[in-house]
Structure 1
Amino acid sequence: MQIHYLSEKNSVLNHFLAEIRDVNRHKDAMRFRRNIERIGEIMSYELSQELKYESIEIQTPLGIKNTTKIADKIVLCSILRAGLAMHLGFLNYFDQAENGFISAYRHHPDNDDNFEIRVEYQAIADINDKCLLVVDPMLATGQSIVAVYNRLMERGHPETIHIAVIIAAPEGIAYLEKHLPENCHLWIGALDKKLNEQSYIVPGLGDAGDLAYGIKL
């Protein structure tokens, strides 16, 4: 798996990462969603450098310009519900992309810290021979992304796969490296220290879905 760390160099990405982590800003859900969306836009630009392009000619008012355009047929899939705001950021840049949505959540059958991943709702375009982009803000254990990947592979076989996360833990990265094919690209906004006993990222930012859309039952 090819891993791309985006916050190693200072940029406006780090500014937005700082804002979404700041507990003093967490009461402003609209600001949180907008920053997640803007981070998605920044990550889209970085990821776009790994896509395929084709040469084209453009007629301008004064002549012909030889340039390029994206050749990949993109399917953008977000993991519900936390991925929705990030999805919008990517869609702002890849506006011709087909779209998909899939749910994955932690189920605690014994009401303790042990959990299993359940993948339920899914609605996605044909992914065969296309460029599949999977987006989710947090990469903690990695189990959700692997479960989603396995379910998507039941639907088809994309030509290329890119996974974009905003904050990742080392344990989650190691899990993806073990369970996903080598030709996957993993894009990481920021790498954090570890997971805690409840498998949440430290220092992280809390629950991205709750911060964006309210506390769930």
Structure 2
Amino acid sequence: MHIHNLSEENSILNTFIAEIRSKTIQTDRMRFRRNIERIGEILSYEMSKTEPYETTAVETPLGTSKTALLHDNMVLCSVLRAGIPLHYGILNYFDKAENAFISAYRHHEGDSEEFEIIVEYLACPDLTNKTLILADPMLATGQSMVSTFAALKPYGTPKAIHLMSVIGAKEGIDFVAKAFPENTHLWIATVDETLNSKGYIVPGLGDAGDLSFGEKLQK
């Protein structure tokens, strides 16, 4: 797997990462969502440099301009609900992409720290010979990414796969690298060292879904 860790070079991205981590700033849900969206835009811009382009003639009021335009069929799939702000950030740049959504969540049995990933909802177009972008803001254990990819397989074989995350843990990245095809690309804003006993990224930022949309009732 090809890993593109954008935090390895200093940029304005560092500001958005710092703000989504900050216990003080992240209490502003609108700002938190917008920062996730901004990070999605930056990840998309960097990914766009690697995509195929086609020279196209554009007619202006005064003549013709030849421009290299992105030439690819994309499907953007996000893991609900935390993935929604990241989805919008990516879609702001790849606005012609088709869209897929999947509900994948952790299910803990009783008070156990062990969990399984439950997939309950999936809406997806045909993926055959298209570029698949799979977006999940927190790449912790990597199980959500892998379970989502497995659920998408009946919808066709994409020609290229790009994963996009805001924060990942090394353990989760290693797990994903073993499960996805070798030529998969991971675009990630920053990487943290460890997971805690419950499988959350440390230092991380907390629960991205709750910070975006409010706390949920646990069943």
What interval of TM-score do these two structures reach, taking the shorter chain for normalisation? over 0.9
Residue of structure 2 equivalent to 1:186: 186
Amino acid of the structure 1 residue aligned with 2:77? C
Q: CA deviation at 1:63?
A: 1.8
Q: Which residue is equivalent to 1:166?
A: 166
Alignment of 1:1-217 (within 5 A): 1-217=1-217
Query: What is the DSSP-based 3-state SS (H/G/I as helix, E as strand, rest coil) of the residue aligned with 1:35?
Result: helix
Q: Which moved more, 1:45-54 or 1:206-215?
A: 45-54
Q: 1:122 offset after TM fit, Å? A: 0.7
Aligned-residue offset at 1:133 = 0.5
Tell me the TM-score normalised to structure 2 length: 0.97
Deviates more, 1:174-183 or 1:205-214: 174-183
User: Shift in Å at residue 61 of structure 1?
Assistant: 2.1
Structure 1 residue 60, shift from structure 2 partner? 1.6
Shift of 1:55: 1.3
Identity %: 57
Distance 1:66 1:26 in 2: 44
Shift of 1:62: 2.2
TM-score, length-normalised on structure 1? 0.98
The separation in 1 between residues aligned to 2:66 and 2:99, in whole angstroms, is 30
Amino acid at match of 1:33: R
Distance 1:125 1:77 in 2: 10
Between the aligned partners of 1:36 and 1:146, the Cα distance in structure 2 is 22
TM-aligned CA deviation for residue 154 of structure 1 = 1.9
Residue aligned with 1:216, SS: coil
Which deviates more, 54-63 or 161-170?
Answer: 54-63
Instruction: Give secondary structure in 2 for the equivalent of 1:7.
Output: helix
Matched residue type, 2:10: N
Between the aligned partners of 1:31 and 1:131, the Cα distance in structure 2 is 30
Query: Which structure 2 segments of 5+ residues have no match?
Result: none
Q: Which amino acid aligns with 1:29?
A: R
Is 2:19–2:25's contact at 8 Å kept on the other side of the alignment? yes
In 2, Cα distance between the equivalents of 1:95 and 1:142?
Answer: 27
Q: Deviations over 1:104-128 (max 9, x none)?
A: 1100123310100111111112111
- Equivalenced residue count is 217
Amino acid at match of 1:43: L
